[in-house]
Amino acid sequence: MRIGAIEGGGTKFVCGIGNEQGVIEDRISFPTEQPEKVMEQIISYFKDKGVQAIGNGTFGPIDIDPASQTYGYVTTTPKPGWSGYPFVETLKQAFDIPFGWDTDVNAAAYGEAVWGAAKGLDSCVYFTIGTGIGVGVFSEGKLVHGLVHPEGGHLLPRRHPEDRFEGSCPYHGDCLEGLAAGPAIEKRWGIKGSELAEDHPAWAMEAYYVGQAVTSTILLLSPKRVVLGGGVMHQKQLLPMIRAEVTRNLNGYVSAAPLLNDINEYIVPPGLGENAALCGSLALGLEAWKSVND
Ligand code: ADP
Ligand code: ZN
Protein backbone atom coordinates (compact mmCIF):
# COMPACT_ATOMS: atom_id res chain seq x y z
CA MET A 1 0.00 0.00 0.00
CA ARG A 2 1.21 3.52 -0.79
CA ILE A 3 0.08 6.30 1.51
CA GLY A 4 0.98 9.97 1.13
CA ALA A 5 2.13 12.15 4.03
CA ILE A 6 2.41 15.92 4.27
CA GLU A 7 4.17 17.70 7.11
CA GLY A 8 3.36 21.38 6.88
CA GLY A 9 5.81 23.39 8.97
CA GLY A 10 6.25 27.10 9.45
CA THR A 11 9.49 27.11 7.47
CA LYS A 12 9.16 24.12 5.18
CA PHE A 13 6.74 21.54 3.84
CA VAL A 14 7.78 17.92 3.55
CA CYS A 15 5.84 15.47 1.37
CA GLY A 16 6.51 11.76 1.45
CA ILE A 17 5.21 8.37 0.46
CA GLY A 18 5.24 5.47 2.86
CA ASN A 19 3.74 2.11 3.66
CA GLU A 20 1.68 0.62 6.47
CA GLN A 21 4.83 -0.25 8.44
CA GLY A 22 5.69 3.44 8.76
CA VAL A 23 8.59 3.27 6.30
CA ILE A 24 9.01 6.46 4.28
CA GLU A 25 10.11 5.42 0.79
CA ASP A 26 10.39 8.78 -0.91
CA ARG A 27 10.25 12.43 0.09
CA ILE A 28 10.72 16.01 -1.04
CA SER A 29 10.65 19.32 0.77
CA PHE A 30 10.19 22.93 -0.21
CA PRO A 31 9.87 26.28 1.60
CA THR A 32 6.56 27.44 3.11
CA GLU A 33 5.77 30.21 0.65
CA GLN A 34 2.31 31.41 -0.39
CA PRO A 35 -0.26 28.60 -0.11
CA GLU A 36 -1.06 28.48 -3.84
CA LYS A 37 2.60 27.90 -4.65
CA VAL A 38 2.98 25.27 -1.93
CA MET A 39 -0.20 23.49 -3.06
CA GLU A 40 0.98 23.45 -6.68
CA GLN A 41 4.14 21.63 -5.58
CA ILE A 42 2.21 19.20 -3.38
CA ILE A 43 -0.17 18.32 -6.20
CA SER A 44 2.57 17.89 -8.76
CA TYR A 45 4.49 15.63 -6.34
CA PHE A 46 1.57 13.29 -5.62
CA LYS A 47 0.20 13.28 -9.19
CA ASP A 48 0.83 9.85 -10.76
CA LYS A 49 2.24 8.41 -7.52
CA GLY A 50 -0.81 6.20 -6.95
CA VAL A 51 -1.28 6.97 -3.25
CA GLN A 52 -4.48 5.58 -1.70
CA ALA A 53 -4.85 8.25 0.97
CA ILE A 54 -2.93 11.30 2.21
CA GLY A 55 -2.39 12.33 5.84
CA ASN A 56 -1.61 15.93 6.75
CA GLY A 57 0.02 17.31 9.85
CA THR A 58 -0.01 21.07 9.43
CA PHE A 59 1.03 24.11 11.46
CA GLY A 60 -1.92 25.70 13.20
CA PRO A 61 -4.21 27.01 14.17
CA ILE A 62 -6.34 24.86 11.86
CA ASP A 63 -9.97 23.76 11.81
CA ILE A 64 -10.19 20.05 12.67
CA ASP A 65 -13.91 19.85 13.46
CA PRO A 66 -15.47 17.60 10.79
CA ALA A 67 -18.87 19.25 11.41
CA SER A 68 -17.52 22.74 10.73
CA GLN A 69 -18.08 24.59 7.45
CA THR A 70 -14.38 25.45 7.46
CA TYR A 71 -13.06 21.96 8.29
CA GLY A 72 -9.63 21.54 6.74
CA TYR A 73 -8.89 25.26 6.69
CA VAL A 74 -5.90 27.02 8.19
CA THR A 75 -7.53 29.57 10.50
CA THR A 76 -5.91 32.56 12.25
CA THR A 77 -2.21 32.26 11.47
CA PRO A 78 -0.26 35.48 10.96
CA LYS A 79 1.65 33.71 8.18
CA PRO A 80 1.05 35.80 5.02
CA GLY A 81 -1.62 34.35 2.72
CA TRP A 82 -2.39 31.32 4.90
CA SER A 83 -5.18 32.61 7.11
CA GLY A 84 -8.47 31.11 5.86
CA TYR A 85 -6.78 28.87 3.28
CA PRO A 86 -8.96 25.79 2.43
CA PHE A 87 -6.13 23.26 2.52
CA VAL A 88 -7.98 19.94 2.52
CA GLU A 89 -10.66 21.14 0.11
CA THR A 90 -8.04 22.18 -2.43
CA LEU A 91 -6.37 18.78 -2.16
CA LYS A 92 -9.74 17.04 -2.54
CA GLN A 93 -10.32 18.80 -5.82
CA ALA A 94 -7.09 17.28 -7.12
CA PHE A 95 -7.33 13.76 -5.66
CA ASP A 96 -10.40 11.62 -5.03
CA ILE A 97 -9.00 9.77 -2.00
CA PRO A 98 -9.45 9.98 1.80
CA PHE A 99 -7.50 12.63 3.73
CA GLY A 100 -6.29 12.73 7.32
CA TRP A 101 -5.91 16.16 8.89
CA ASP A 102 -4.47 17.32 12.20
CA THR A 103 -1.83 19.63 13.62
CA ASP A 104 1.86 18.90 12.97
CA VAL A 105 2.41 18.26 16.69
CA ASN A 106 -0.62 16.01 17.08
CA ALA A 107 0.69 14.13 14.04
CA ALA A 108 4.10 13.82 15.71
CA ALA A 109 2.50 12.53 18.92
CA TYR A 110 0.58 10.00 16.86
CA GLY A 111 3.67 8.90 14.92
CA GLU A 112 5.55 8.37 18.18
CA ALA A 113 2.62 6.38 19.60
CA VAL A 114 2.26 4.16 16.54
CA TRP A 115 5.91 3.58 15.56
CA GLY A 116 8.19 5.58 17.87
CA ALA A 117 9.19 6.18 21.47
CA ALA A 118 5.65 5.67 22.82
CA LYS A 119 4.90 2.57 20.74
CA GLY A 120 2.36 0.34 22.44
CA LEU A 121 1.24 3.02 24.91
CA ASP A 122 -2.25 4.50 24.77
CA SER A 123 -1.06 7.98 25.75
CA CYS A 124 1.84 10.32 25.15
CA VAL A 125 2.55 14.01 24.80
CA TYR A 126 4.90 15.38 22.15
CA PHE A 127 6.60 18.76 22.51
CA THR A 128 8.42 20.46 19.70
CA ILE A 129 10.76 23.21 20.85
CA GLY A 130 11.89 24.98 17.72
CA THR A 131 10.94 28.19 15.93
CA GLY A 132 7.75 27.93 17.95
CA ILE A 133 6.65 25.56 20.67
CA GLY A 134 3.86 23.09 19.97
CA VAL A 135 2.34 20.32 22.03
CA GLY A 136 0.54 17.29 20.60
CA VAL A 137 -1.61 15.13 22.86
CA PHE A 138 -2.51 11.46 22.40
CA SER A 139 -4.74 10.16 25.18
CA GLU A 140 -6.75 6.97 25.71
CA GLY A 141 -5.75 5.85 22.22
CA LYS A 142 -6.88 9.03 20.44
CA LEU A 143 -5.49 12.40 19.48
CA VAL A 144 -7.02 15.04 21.70
CA HIS A 145 -9.32 17.57 20.08
CA GLY A 146 -11.70 19.85 21.89
CA LEU A 147 -12.92 23.32 21.26
CA VAL A 148 -10.06 23.40 18.74
CA HIS A 149 -6.81 21.53 19.41
CA PRO A 150 -4.33 21.77 22.28
CA GLU A 151 -2.17 24.92 22.22
CA GLY A 152 0.24 23.99 24.98
CA GLY A 153 3.06 26.04 23.49
CA HIS A 154 1.35 29.10 24.97
CA LEU A 155 1.10 27.88 28.56
CA LEU A 156 2.03 30.55 31.09
CA PRO A 157 5.09 29.60 33.14
CA ARG A 158 6.33 31.13 36.38
CA ARG A 159 9.15 33.58 35.52
CA HIS A 160 12.74 32.69 36.28
CA PRO A 161 13.87 35.17 38.98
CA GLU A 162 16.88 36.25 36.91
CA ASP A 163 15.11 36.55 33.58
CA ARG A 164 14.79 40.16 32.40
CA PHE A 165 13.62 39.28 28.90
CA GLU A 166 10.06 40.49 28.25
CA GLY A 167 9.17 37.54 26.00
CA SER A 168 8.55 37.42 22.27
CA CYS A 169 5.06 35.98 21.73
CA PRO A 170 3.00 38.51 19.74
CA TYR A 171 -0.12 37.42 21.65
CA HIS A 172 1.10 36.86 25.22
CA GLY A 173 4.64 38.17 25.57
CA ASP A 174 6.04 35.82 28.18
CA CYS A 175 4.17 32.58 27.52
CA LEU A 176 6.21 29.38 27.11
CA GLU A 177 6.87 30.01 23.40
CA GLY A 178 7.66 33.67 24.09
CA LEU A 179 10.29 32.65 26.66
CA ALA A 180 11.68 29.35 25.47
CA ALA A 181 11.36 28.87 21.68
CA GLY A 182 14.51 29.25 19.55
CA PRO A 183 13.86 32.92 18.61
CA ALA A 184 13.29 33.85 22.30
CA ILE A 185 16.66 32.33 23.24
CA GLU A 186 18.33 34.30 20.46
CA LYS A 187 16.65 37.59 21.45
CA ARG A 188 17.38 37.20 25.16
CA TRP A 189 21.07 36.40 24.81
CA GLY A 190 21.78 38.21 21.53
CA ILE A 191 23.23 35.09 19.92
CA LYS A 192 21.72 32.03 18.22
CA GLY A 193 20.99 29.10 20.54
CA SER A 194 23.16 26.83 18.42
CA GLU A 195 26.15 29.12 19.13
CA LEU A 196 25.73 29.31 22.92
CA ALA A 197 28.21 27.23 24.94
CA GLU A 198 26.97 24.03 26.47
CA ASP A 199 27.42 25.39 30.00
CA HIS A 200 25.90 28.84 29.29
CA PRO A 201 23.25 29.91 31.87
CA ALA A 202 20.77 30.03 28.97
CA TRP A 203 20.29 26.27 29.23
CA ALA A 204 19.43 26.22 32.93
CA MET A 205 16.83 28.89 32.21
CA GLU A 206 15.54 26.92 29.23
CA ALA A 207 15.25 23.77 31.33
CA TYR A 208 13.46 25.79 34.03
CA TYR A 209 10.76 26.84 31.55
CA VAL A 210 10.40 23.61 29.60
CA GLY A 211 10.53 21.66 32.87
CA GLN A 212 7.55 23.64 34.16
CA ALA A 213 5.54 22.97 31.01
CA VAL A 214 6.33 19.26 31.18
CA THR A 215 5.40 19.23 34.88
CA SER A 216 2.06 20.95 34.22
CA THR A 217 1.38 18.51 31.40
CA ILE A 218 2.06 15.52 33.65
CA LEU A 219 -0.20 16.95 36.34
CA LEU A 220 -3.02 17.77 33.93
CA LEU A 221 -2.98 14.89 31.45
CA SER A 222 -1.02 12.11 33.15
CA PRO A 223 0.55 10.88 29.89
CA LYS A 224 2.41 7.56 29.94
CA ARG A 225 5.38 9.13 28.11
CA VAL A 226 6.65 12.60 27.22
CA VAL A 227 8.61 13.07 24.00
CA LEU A 228 10.70 16.21 23.47
CA GLY A 229 11.71 17.15 19.91
CA GLY A 230 12.53 20.24 17.83
CA GLY A 231 15.72 22.09 16.95
CA VAL A 232 16.44 23.48 20.43
CA MET A 233 16.55 19.92 21.81
CA HIS A 234 19.65 19.33 19.66
CA GLN A 235 21.40 20.74 22.74
CA LYS A 236 22.06 17.33 24.26
CA GLN A 237 22.68 18.67 27.77
CA LEU A 238 19.10 19.97 27.95
CA LEU A 239 17.23 16.70 28.26
CA PRO A 240 18.82 15.62 31.58
CA MET A 241 18.40 19.18 32.91
CA ILE A 242 14.69 19.13 32.03
CA ARG A 243 14.26 15.73 33.67
CA ALA A 244 15.89 17.11 36.83
CA GLU A 245 13.57 20.13 36.81
CA VAL A 246 10.51 17.90 36.46
CA THR A 247 11.68 15.67 39.31
CA ARG A 248 12.31 18.76 41.46
CA ASN A 249 8.92 20.29 40.61
CA LEU A 250 6.94 17.12 41.26
CA ASN A 251 8.85 16.47 44.48
CA GLY A 252 7.65 12.89 44.71
CA TYR A 253 3.98 13.88 44.70
CA VAL A 254 2.82 11.82 41.71
CA SER A 255 3.21 8.24 42.80
CA ALA A 256 4.16 6.47 39.58
CA ALA A 257 7.24 4.31 39.03
CA PRO A 258 8.31 5.93 35.74
CA LEU A 259 8.46 9.33 37.47
CA LEU A 260 10.04 8.14 40.70
CA ASN A 261 12.56 5.57 39.39
CA ASP A 262 12.83 5.76 35.66
CA ILE A 263 12.52 9.32 34.44
CA ASN A 264 15.18 8.70 31.75
CA GLU A 265 12.79 6.28 30.07
CA TYR A 266 9.80 8.56 30.65
CA ILE A 267 10.96 11.91 29.22
CA VAL A 268 12.65 10.91 26.00
CA PRO A 269 13.78 12.17 22.58
CA PRO A 270 11.65 11.22 19.55
CA GLY A 271 12.07 7.55 18.60
CA LEU A 272 11.46 8.59 14.99
CA GLY A 273 13.99 11.42 15.13
CA GLU A 274 13.24 14.15 12.61
CA ASN A 275 10.58 11.94 11.01
CA ALA A 276 8.05 12.07 13.87
CA ALA A 277 5.58 14.45 12.20
CA LEU A 278 5.97 12.96 8.71
CA CYS A 279 5.47 9.40 9.99
CA GLY A 280 2.54 10.65 12.07
CA SER A 281 1.01 12.17 8.95
CA LEU A 282 1.49 8.83 7.24
CA ALA A 283 -0.34 7.17 10.16
CA LEU A 284 -3.14 9.73 9.80
CA GLY A 285 -3.39 8.89 6.11
CA LEU A 286 -3.52 5.18 6.89
CA GLU A 287 -6.24 5.80 9.44
CA ALA A 288 -8.24 7.86 6.91
CA TRP A 289 -7.92 5.01 4.40
CA LYS A 290 -9.07 2.44 6.99
CA SER A 291 -12.03 4.59 7.99
CA VAL A 292 -13.51 4.20 4.50
CA ASN A 293 -12.21 0.72 3.62
CA ASP A 294 -12.56 -1.38 6.79
P1 ADP B 1 10.87 24.48 13.02
O2 ADP B 1 10.43 24.73 14.43
O3 ADP B 1 10.95 25.74 12.20
O4 ADP B 1 10.12 23.38 12.34
P5 ADP B 1 13.30 23.35 14.17
O6 ADP B 1 12.56 22.37 15.02
O7 ADP B 1 14.54 22.87 13.48
O8 ADP B 1 12.39 23.97 13.04
O9 ADP B 1 13.69 24.57 15.10
C10 ADP B 1 14.40 25.66 14.65
C11 ADP B 1 14.83 26.48 15.87
O12 ADP B 1 15.69 25.69 16.68
C13 ADP B 1 15.56 27.77 15.55
O14 ADP B 1 15.08 28.81 16.37
C15 ADP B 1 17.01 27.44 15.87
O16 ADP B 1 17.70 28.57 16.33
C17 ADP B 1 16.88 26.40 16.97
N18 ADP B 1 18.00 25.46 16.92
C19 ADP B 1 18.34 24.66 15.89
N20 ADP B 1 19.46 23.94 16.19
C21 ADP B 1 19.81 24.30 17.44
C22 ADP B 1 20.85 23.92 18.32
N23 ADP B 1 21.79 23.02 17.97
N24 ADP B 1 20.89 24.51 19.54
C25 ADP B 1 19.98 25.40 19.91
N26 ADP B 1 18.97 25.82 19.12
C27 ADP B 1 18.88 25.27 17.91
ZN1 ZN C 1 1.92 32.89 23.33
Residues 250, 127 share a domain: yes
Q: What is the mean pLDDT of residues 26-49?
A: 97
pLDDT, residue 10, reads 86
Residues 281, 142 share a domain: no
CA dihedral (100, 106, 108, 114) positive or negative = negative
pLDDT, residue 71, reads 97
Using a CB cutoff of 5 Å, list residues around ligand 2, an ion.
154, 169, 171-172, 175, 177
Residue 21 lies in a domain: yes
pLDDT, residue 77, reads 85
List the one residue out of 247, 227, 144, 133 whose CA is nearest residue 184.
133
Q: What is the mean pLDDT of residues 67-85?
A: 93
Task: Give the percent of the chain with pLDDT over 70.
Answer: 100
Residues 83, 52 share a domain: yes
Task: Give the percent of the chain with pLDDT over 90.
Answer: 97
Distance 135 CA to ligand 2 centre (A): 13
Residue 160 lies in a domain: yes
User: What is the count of structural domains for the chain?
Assistant: 2
Whether 24 shows a pLDDT value over 90: the answer reads yes
Whether 84 shows a pLDDT value over 90: the answer reads yes
Which residues are CB-neighbours of 110 under 8 A, at least 6 positions away? Answer: 102, 136, 138, 143, 280, 283, 284
pLDDT, residue 78, reads 80
Residues 72, 150 share a domain: no
Q: Which of 105, 192, 199, 236 to mutate to test the pocket of ligand 1 (most atoms within 8 A of CB)?
A: 192
Residues 254, 284 share a domain: no
Is the CB of residue 192 below 6 angstroms from any atom belonging to ligand 1? yes
Residues 257, 125 share a domain: yes
Band of the pLDDT at 207, cuts 50, 70, 90?
very high
pLDDT, residue 79, reads 86
Distance 190 CA to ligand 1 centre (A): 15
Is the CB of residue 191 below 6 angstroms from any atom belonging to ligand 1? no
Q: Which domain holds residue 89?
A: 3-106+274-288
Residue 293 lies in a domain: no
Residues 148, 124 share a domain: yes
Residues 122, 261 share a domain: yes
Please say whether the beta carbons of 280 and 117 come within 8 A.
Answer: no
Residues 49, 165 share a domain: no
Residues 124, 102 share a domain: no
- For 154, counting Cβ atoms within 10 Å of its Cβ (0-12 exposed, 13-18 middle, 19+ buried), the class is middle
Which residues are CB-neighbours of 217 under 8 A, at least 6 positions away? Answer: 125, 135, 152, 223, 226
Whether 187 shows a pLDDT value over 90: the answer reads yes
Whether 247 shows a pLDDT value over 90: the answer reads yes
Residue 40 lies in a domain: yes
Q: List the CATH number of the domain containing 95.
A: 3.30.420.40
Q: What is the mean pLDDT of residues 68-81?
A: 92
Q: How does the average pLDDT of the chain come out, rounded?
A: 97
Residue 176 lies in a domain: yes
Please say whether the beta carbons of 276 and 126 come within 8 A.
Answer: yes
Residues 149, 167 share a domain: yes
Q: What is the mean pLDDT of residues 44-65?
A: 96
pLDDT, residue 52, reads 98
Q: For 115-174, how does the pLDDT look when each residue is reduced to its tens digit (9 = 90+)?
A: 999 999 999 999 999 999 999 999 999 999 999 999 999 999 999 999 999 999 999 999
Residues 241, 162 share a domain: yes
Is the CB of residue 10 below 6 angstroms from any atom belonging to ligand 1? yes
List the one residue out of 58, 80, 81, 79 whose CA is nearest residue 71.
58
Query: What pTM was estimated for this model as a whole?
Result: 0.97
Residue 113 lies in a domain: no
Residue 294 lies in a domain: no
Residue 223 lies in a domain: yes
pLDDT, residue 60, reads 85
